[in-house]
Amino acid sequence: MTHYIALIHKDRDSCYGVSFPDVPGVFTAGGTIDEAMRKAAEVLVFAAQDWGSLQGDRFPRPRTIDELRSDPEFQDRAADAVVAAVPFRENANAAA
């Protein structure tokens, strides 16, 4: 199963926000970290369904954590975040 690395941020008096370094513009949030993680998996499938028609190219491939750690932009964004691996079933978007 494929996994996308997610960055989870939480400011005081806010929800847990989730973004994906390899999938620009895709994000979600939840009131608890568990809810945010469930929504993260859902939003990846949703984004993949229309990615080609909206973005004009294939859904981005996930980089490994080692690849991301060598990316200075990721290092900056991850400095105050929880880093998580979100499962993505590639064929889930075909069944929807």
Q: Give the number of domains in the chain.
A: 1
Structural domain boundaries enclosing 15: 2-85
Could you tell me if residue 94 is inside a domain? Answer: no
pLDDT digit string (tens) for the chain, length 96 residues: 899 999 999 988 999 999 999 999 999 999 999 999 999 999 999 999 988 776 678 899 999 999 999 999 999 999 999 999 999 986 544 433
For residue 21, the domain's CATH number is 3.30.160.250
Q: pTM for this structure?
A: 0.85
CA distances (Å), origin 11, targets 31, 35, 61, 73: 12, 16, 29, 20
Question: Taken in order 82, 83, 89, 95, is the CA torsion positive or negative?
Answer: positive
- Identify whether the C-beta of residue 71 lies closer than 8 Å to the C-beta of residue 65: no
The verdict on residue 59 lying in a domain is yes
